Structure formats: structure tokens, C-alpha cells
Chains A and B, each alone.
Chain A
Amino acid sequence: MYSKQSFKWKAVWCCWLLLATIPATAQTDIDGLMMDKNFFCVGATAGKSSWKNYWEGTLKRDNPNLGTVSNTNAMLMGVYGITDKLNVLFGLPYIKTKASAGNMAGQKGLQDLSLFVKWQAYEKHLGNGHLKAIATAGYSLPTSNYAPDMLPLSIGLSSQNLTLRLLADYQWNNWFATASASYVYRSNVTLNRNTYYTTEMHYSNKVEMPNASQFNIRAGYRSSTWIIEAIADRWNTLGGFDITRNNMPFVSNNMEATSVGLHVKYDTDFVNGLSFVADANTVVAGRNVGQSTGFSGGIFYIFDFSKKKPAAPAVASPSQNK
């Protein structure tokens, strides 16, 4: 049997859904932690984010015909350690949107499945601490034929995304800081109509999506029991156009969001491998997105499939872990 200590910093999870228009980010693909070989962490989060004000281009406004637009979500996630330095990850959110006022119907459905490979490329003692460099490659695709063309109530944008991310993590005693930069290639999107207007008419059901960049900085306290970190994030599409006055949002808008958040993870004492997470975040600046504030919580469990485990790799029950 393994000790609780072996789970130290194994995984941090949370669903970090700002808006349906910005990809869901599981913490694990953007943090500086790796899962050990043959360990499998799986969990689920549930959360809700909402906004009343949004940016129509650079103009901040509300809309009494939408009221508050909310996004209730549940996400299933997992990470598996192929080796100590190579992890594979997946995430799949279910999303339900709703407008508190007006006539627009909310939308719901399974959104995009994301698959990531995370590779710890470099590790070194530096000063009194420990430096890691991690590279991540991800791919996501829609798992249902939801309509992307119903913003702001669409559950997603339906592009297939390829994400490449470079990340540096430095830990000194129980304090740490992580910084990452990502480039997101977004495929063309197919609409349920054969023409659309951006800054001119287009006679096609295909929309060219601007690619996007993401910068993420997180820092805080990390021990075997607690992780408490503050997060700053910047999402920026590399192109796209502004929503015109009183128009509807569109999939290929120029979407920017700067957000700040707090993430807490607690590894339980009473069940080895069981952890809880809680998250809060809010958009502080944006363009063509809602000024969203969200909360989520989740539960995770780590299964040990390593060879040192005598029994067959059946589902480990809490009692077995003791």
C-alpha cells in the first residue's frame, strides 16, 4: 500500500469555465504538476458562471432582453501517468445556458472533448528551489452537434482546437509560481446557415476562426495537504471583429478576456487519494465577451495501477486505501 505522501502534488483539478466561448480549462493541463507513472486520477466538477454586463466591442453594457446569462456546467476529467514525466489528460463538459430575461431559450448539451499530452521536459534544482519546464499539446472537438450560431446562449463555438503550451514552474519550500503561454489553433466552424455577415457578406456555411493565445500566471502555497493559489489569465483571439452596435455576438468575434481567480485544493486525511477542489474567478477586462463571474467545486480520486500494487488493478475502494 502507498502512503498519503505519495499523492503529494499529484493533481490539481478544477473546471475553469469562464464562458462557453472560451475553452474549458482543467487546471491539470495548465499547472506545474505531474501524475506519477501508472496512477490515474479522475474526478468531476460542477460550477456556475454568469454575467449581466458584457462588452459589445469595447463598449460595456447590459441587455434587459437577456438579463443575466448563466452557464451551469459539469465536467468529467481524468489524467493518467504513462511515466512520471509524461501524462495524458481528458476533459468533457456538459453545459446548460440560460437567460434570466427576454424570449431567448437556453441551450444545453455535451460540449467539447479535450485530450492533452503533458510532458515534463526539464527539471532542475535552482537556488533553494526546484524548476520545471513542461510542454503540453492538446486537441479538442465537439461531441454533439450543438449550434454555435446562437450566441450568447450557444454552449460553445464548435471549432476543433489544437493547443500548444509551454509552462515553467518554480517551487521554493511550500511557495510556488507557474507561468504558461499557449497558442490555440482553431479550425473553421460550420454554421446551420449558408450565409453570414462579419464585416461583409459571406456566402458559405464555413466561418474562418481566428486563432488564439492564452497567458496564465498562478502563484501561492502548495503542500501535501493544501494548495491555495491566485490565478491571472489572459485569453485573446488573434484577429476577429467587434460586435457592432446592438448586434448579436458571432463565433469569429475578436474575443478577449482578462480574469483573476482563486483555486483551493484539499487532500483529505480520511481517505487517501481523495481530494476536493474549489474555484472562483471573475473577468476584469474584456472585449466581445461577458463579464463573467464563476464558482465551481469538485471531487477527485486517485487510483493506483502501479506494479508495486499486489492486487489486480481493480477499482480501489476507500477501505483498500487505508
Chain B
Amino acid sequence: MKKIGILIIILGSLAVLSACSKDITEDNTVYPAISPIRPDANAGTWKPILLTAANEFGCPTPIATTSPDYVVQLNEIKSFQAELSNEEKALVNYWGAGAVCRWNEIMRNLVAKHNLPPVNNADGSYPIPSANNPLAYPTFPFSNPPYAARAYAYLSAAQYDACIAAYFYKQQFNRVAPFTVDANIQTLLPKSTLPSYPSEDATILGASVEILKLMFPGDQDYINQKAEEHKRARLIAGANVRSDLDAGEALGKQIAAKFVARARNDRAGAAVGTPAIWSQMEQDAIGRGETPWISQETPKRPGMLPLFGRVRTWLFDSAVLVNVVRPAAPPSTNSPQFKAETEEVYNVKKNLTAKEKSIAIFWSDGVGTYTPPGHWNYIAATEFAQLGFSEARWARNMALLNMSIMDAGIACWDAKYFYYNPRPMQMDPRIKTDIGLPNFPSYISGHSTFSGAAATVLGYIVPSRAQQFNAWATEASMSRMYGAIHYRSDCEVGIVTGNKVGNFAVNRGHTDGAE
């Protein structure tokens, strides 16, 4: 009897095992479909970023909804809708959350995939990824935080200009949506009250594809596949006919070309610098009587993008960067305050609480992640998805956010390499980190600067949540002390500098016509 009992226990536990589901519902899969509280039909009048005007690039006059060609396009939708698979329905729901939302997410995916520092060569030097040969090791790009900040900014800025161009032509041509033309067209997503030509989804798609291919040239298959899925989802949903999409995509690609041209000349290509420049930065710090930053990696890795601080900003010019935004010098490495701050880092790590450790890990956003800029994009997307924004408002808010994050990155990198301040563990080898040590100078903290800018902009966009955003920014900032990789000055001045940059974006928001 006992044996039978045990056998039952074993078989029973097997049954429990097989019944145990490991399914995980991911947070980004439950975003509601775009259903704007305000349609923002006038977004075509909002102030563009690079376009001279919303209609700088032309858009052909659409065919009439009564033409035979249009009927062919209606029938394409009907043939999709005749037999809908669950996969197709899932596709519609996924893209229903919005073009800006999903293309931003796609970029986060690629940033995380490529956020890997190259392995050193046998001789101790480090190879530099090449955009001309993106699939050979080291694959291009190494999407570290500055690279990612720039990628998100170009994506969002191009999406915004593409979006307002679409809204401009919608009003001009006023071609109604397929479900208005033909009552037999089902609508699998909330019905937009806007004219449907050209499709704003497609202009955003067209612009996004071009920016993504610029930033991630080795991932074109993946990017094209997403674009095809997006267009198919719009057709299946009955939201657009083929010509809405074709015109929108073509317009978006033309607009993106302007951003691609800017990106090719924004000095990011030279941000790696040269051995002579690196050495000069070190000598300058020594000349000021300071202990210079030294890479703590083996073999010593050149600092990350030393000239990123000279990349072209969005919200202010280089004179403002140097005279207004650049923070005052950190405590001298010879000063008692510096010694006290180093000791503080040691003690914080030594007495780290479980809560502090989990905060350090939560915000670490290091190798193989979407970076701190990506983290703030995710926070923004999660917030915006609940707010009933129009596609245009999504685009505008993401553009403000990401222009400020990129400019914050530039300001931060400017300070890092201007002051060339050493990390805590360089000064005190007893200090170890739970989260990994970034390979660039300490002052000011990148997390703090990115977060200070992002929280300021998000607080402007969603005032009721401003306190929460600032609390998160402070937590992200302090997480770097808990991780024992930044001094208190790095964190505090980083937040202040980030706030300052964020306010430039807020000021743009006051005058872009969207308020």
C-alpha cells in the first residue's frame, strides 16, 4: 500500500509539473489601442523640428474614393478580413497601440541587442565597430548610452516632423477612411475621426525605417519585416487603404532623409576621437593639478566616445552648452571634500542595504540593456499609453523627451571629458561594484543627467505625475552611489544639469503650437 501511495505522490507531482504554466504576460503587450481624447486635427500647424514647413515635401493628390482603383484597394482589405487568423488579430492589436509607441519599442530592442562593448584584440588594443561593415565583428554599432540617446532622438524627431506633415496633408486632401466609404469594411481598431490620406502610421513608419537603418545598418531584415507587419496590420484593421500607406511611407522617407543628412554631419562620427586627443585630455587634467581618469579595465580601454560632448545639440547651441549648461568644476581630487566623498562611496557600499542594492540593480541599465535613455523611453511609453494621446501628441512628446535626453547626454559627456575626473575605485581600490563600472570619467553622472532631463520633460507633459518622475530620477541618480561607481557630487550636479537641459525642451513645448 505504501508503495502505491508513494507512486501516486510521484505521478501527482509530475501532473502538477506539466500543469504549471510558465507563461508570462509582458507589460508592453497590454497597451490599449490609440483612441485620442483630442484628435489634434490641427497638428499640421505645429512647429516642425527640421522641416522648413509641414509641406516642405510634396504629397501627390490621392485618387477619389469613387474611382475603380480605390475599389480595388477596398477589396484588398476585404480579402484580408475574410479569414482572420489569431496571429493577424494579435498583429492588429500590437500595432494598434500606435506607430510612435511601437517603433520606439523596436529601437529599444535593437539598442539592447547591440549594447555590447567589443572584446579587445590580442595586442591589447580595441577594435572600433564600422558602419560600413556592420555584420563583421565588432558588429556595428556598440549602442552605448550616448549612441542610444542619439538614436532615440533622431527617431523621435523624424517621427514628429513626419507626423505633422501627414496631419497637414490630411486636412488638405480630406480623403475619408475606408470604413466611411464602405460600410462592409470592418474596423478592428477604434475609428479615427481624421481623414486617412496620407496615413500617419505610414509616415511615421517610413521615417522610422530610415532612421533605424542608419543607426542599425546590420538589422535591415528585421526592420523591413516590422514595416511589412505594420502595414499589413493597418490594412487588416480596415484603418487604411493601400494608397494611404504608400503615400505616407514615401513622405516619411523623404522627411527622414533630412534627419539622416543632419546625423551624418552632427560630429557623432568623430566622437571616438584619436589617441592624441585622449592623451591631450589626460594631460590637461594633470596640468590643472588633478588626478586624471584612468580606465579600470584590463587591458585599458579608451574612454567611451570622448568627443560626444561636441555633437550637435537640438535645443541650444554650443555657446549655451559651454557657458550655461556646463556645470562648475567638481571638487578637486586633492581636496578634503573629494576625499570625504570617496570615503562616503566606500561606506555606502560597505553598509549597503538590500533595498539599496535592489535599486542599484533596477536602474543599472548596463551592458545588454536599452540603456538609461531607453529606460526613460519605456517609462514614457507606459505613461502615454494610458493617456489617450493622438499619434501626433505621442510624436511631439517623445520628440521633446528624446531631444532633451540626447542634449543631456551631450552636456554630460562634455563635462566628463572636460573635467576628466577619476572614478571612486580608481582612488580607492577597496571599492567594488555590484553593477559594473562604466568606462569613462566620473563627473557628472550620466544616469543622473539623463534622468534629470527626462523627469523635467515628462513632468511638463504629465503634470499630475511630476512628483513621481522626479522621485524616480532621484532614485536612478542615487542608484549610482549605491553601485559605488559615482560620488555624491556626480549625482547631484548631474540631476541639476539634466533639469536645466530639460527646461529647454519645456520651453520649446510652450511654443510649438501643441499646447
Interface set of A (CB-CB < 8 Å, partner B) = 64-65, 83, 86, 101-107, 117, 119, 121, 135, 137, 145, 147, 149-150, 162, 164, 185, 187-188, 191-197, 200-204, 206-209, 244-248, 250
| B361 with A149: CB separation less than 8 A | yes
Cα-based distance from A106 to B433 in the complex (angstroms):
9
Residue among A147, A185, A250 making CB contact with B20, cutoff 8 Å = A185
B binding-site residues for A, Cβ under 8 Å: 2-3, 6, 9-10, 13-14, 17, 20, 22, 24-29, 105, 108-109, 112-113, 116-119, 137-139, 296-299, 349, 354, 357-358, 361-362, 364, 367-370, 375, 378, 425, 432-437, 484
If A149-B361, A202-B26 touch, whether A103 touches B369 (CB-CB below 8 Å) is no
B433 touches A104 (CB 8 A): yes
When A and B form their complex, which 3 residue pairs have the shortest distance between CB atoms, in order from nearest?
A105-B432, A64-B298, A197-B112
Name the B residues within 8 Å of A145 (CB-CB). Answer: 354
Q: Which A residue sits closest to B124, measured CB to CB?
A: A64
A147 near B10 with CB under 8 A, answer no
Complex alpha-carbon distance, A192 and B349, angstroms: 18
Q: Are A246 and B117 in contact (CB under 8 A)?
A: yes
Contact indicator B434/A105 (Cβ below 8 Å): yes
Complex Cα spacing A121 to B116, Å: 52
Q: Is A137 a contact partner of B13 (Cβ separation < 8 A)?
A: yes
A247–B368 alpha-carbon span in the complex (Å)? 7
Question: Once the chains bind, are B368 and A150 in contact (CB under 8 Å)?
Answer: no
**Set A101, A117, A248: member contacting B298, Cβ < 8 A:** A101
Q: Is the CB of A203 within 8 A of B113?
A: no
Contact A245 B119, CB 8 Å, known A103-B425, A194-B27, A201-B105: yes
Decide yes or no: A147 and B6 within 8 Å by CB, A105-B433, A197-B112 being known contacts. Answer: no
A–B Cβ pairs within 8 angstroms, 7 of them = A104-B436, A137-B9, A147-B358, A164-B13, A194-B27, A208-B24, A245-B119
The residues of A that contact B299 with a CB separation of less than 8 Å are 64
Choose one: B6, B28, B436; the contact of A103 (CB below 8 Å). B436
Per DSSP, are chain A's interface residues mostly helix, strand or loop, or mixed?
loop
Residues of B within 8 A of A200 (CB): 109
Within the complex, the shortest CB–CB distance from B186 to chain A, in Å, comes to: 29
- B362–A103 CB distance below 8 A: no
Cβ contacts under 8 Å, B9 to chain A: 117, 137
Question: Could you tell me the distance between the alpha carbons of A310 and B8 in the complex, rounded to whole angstroms?
Answer: 36
Closest to B25 in A: A204
A11 to chain B, nearest CB (A): 20
**Contact A162/B137 with A150-B434, A193-B362, A203-B378 known, Cβ cut-off 8 Å:** no
In whole Å, how far is A259's beta carbon from the nearest beta carbon of chain B?
A: 26
> Known contacts A64-B299, A119-B3, A135-B10; can you find 15 more A-B pairs with CB under 8 A?
A83-B2, A103-B436, A105-B433, A137-B13, A145-B354, A164-B10, A195-B375, A196-B369, A197-B369, A203-B29, A208-B24, A245-B116, A245-B137, A245-B138, A248-B368
Complex-state Cα separation, A121 to B2, whole angstroms: 11
Instruction: Please judge, given known A-B contacts A104-B436, A188-B22, whether A193 and B27 are in contact too, CB under 8 Å.
Output: no
Known interface pairs A65-B298, A204-B24, A204-B27. Does A162 touch B369 (Cβ–Cβ under 8 Å)? no
Kindly name the residue among B139, B370, B375, B432 whose own CB sees the greatest number of chain A CB atoms within 10 A. B432
The answer on a CB contact under 8 Å between B24 and A201 is: no
Return the contact of B362 from the options A106, A192, A203, A209 (Cβ within 8 A). A192
A83 to B1, CA, bound (A): 14
Q: Which of A150, A187, A250 has the most chain B CB atoms inside 10 A of its CB?
A: A150
Query: What is the minimal beta-carbon distance from A213 to any residue of chain B, in angstroms?
Result: 14
Q: How far is the CB of B127 from chain A (nearest CB, A)?
A: 11
Min C-beta distance of A143 to chain B, whole Å? 14
CB nearest neighbor in B for A246: B119
Kindly identify which residue among A119, A150, A185 contacts B17, using a CB–CB cutoff of 8 Å.
Answer: A185
Point out the residues of chain B lying under 8 angstroms from A106, CB to CB: 432
Q: How far is the CB of B116 from chain A (nearest CB, A)?
A: 5
Question: How long is the Cα–Cα vector from A137 to B105 in the complex, in angstroms?
Answer: 43
What's the Cα separation between A107 and B349 when bound, in Å? 12
A121 and B3 contacting across the interface, CB-CB below 8 Å: yes
**Interchain nearest-CB distance for B117 vs A (Å):** 6
Residue in chain B with minimal CB distance to A136: B10
The answer for the CA separation of A156 and B354 in the assembled complex, in Å, is: 16
Q: Is the CB of A201 within 8 A of B137?
A: no
Q: How far is the CA of A101 from the CA of B20 in the complex (A)?
A: 41
A244 to B116 CA separation, bound complex (whole angstroms): 9
| CB–CB A192/B433 < 8 A | no
Q: How far is the CA of A135 from the CA of B11 in the complex (A)?
A: 12
Residue from B13, B354, B362, B370 in contact with A162 in the complex, judged by beta carbons closer than 8 Å: B13
Hey, which chain B residues are within 8 Å of A250, CB to CB?
Answer: 368
